[in-house]
């Protein structure tokens, strides 16, 4: 398995892709479940609904955003792997978070939901061979490969967990 080439995704996803080490994206996505749950388990209850600044999401909302994004990008990966060339629309993550009720859920339930969504996606992605990984499609007006989407998913989650560690969990 190889890393995505720069022509497989838009430049603004480079940061996410750079956050993924190694060349085995399936292994990286699998190990990330335990890594993220370990971070979540260390969050004190009094910080679960904490936002580090005005108009910033709470920790629960950040985790919910990771879950929503995983679902959307995972759906795109499946469609493109199946050679579906129907252009897909984008999404407004701020509206998704504003219209979700993540703060009404327990952080434990959100962590569990993340694990379930990731494991369900991994069950599909483990079936992908090089042919599926090479497939491309258009989402939000931009062409992207399945391989790049999987790297974007992993890097996106890492990015937000890093934000939680550096902005939310400092004393």
Spatial CA neighbour of 6 closest among 148, 128, 134, 157: 148
| pLDDT for residue 91 | 97
| pLDDT for residue 1 | 75
pLDDT by 10-residue block (mean), the chain, 171 residues: 93 96 96 95 94 96 98 98 97 98 97 98 98 97 97 98 94 68
| pLDDT for residue 75 | 98
| pLDDT for residue 57 | 98
């Amino acid at each position: 398995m190889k890393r995505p080439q720069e022509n497989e995704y838009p430049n603004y996803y480079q940061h996410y892709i750079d956050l993924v080490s190694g060349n085995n994206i399936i292994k990286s996505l699998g190990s990330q479940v335990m890594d993220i749950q370990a971070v979540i388990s260390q969050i004190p209850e009094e910080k679960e609904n904490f936002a580090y600044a005005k108009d910033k999401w709470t920790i629960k909302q950040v985790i919910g955003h990771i879950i929503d994004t995983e679902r959307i990008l995972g759906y795109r990966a499946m469609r493109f792997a199946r050679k579906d060339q129907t252009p897909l629309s984008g999404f407004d993550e701020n509206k998704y978070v504003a219209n979700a009720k993540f703060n009404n859920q327990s952080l434990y339930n959100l962590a569990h939901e993340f694990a379930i969504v990731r494991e369900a996606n991994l069950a599909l992605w483990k079936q992908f061979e090089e042919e599926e990984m090479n497939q491309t499609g258009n989402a939000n007006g931009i062409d992207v490969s399945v391989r790049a989407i999987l790297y974007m998913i992993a890097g996106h989650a890492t990015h937000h967990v890093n934000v939680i560690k550096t902005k939310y969990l400092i004393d």
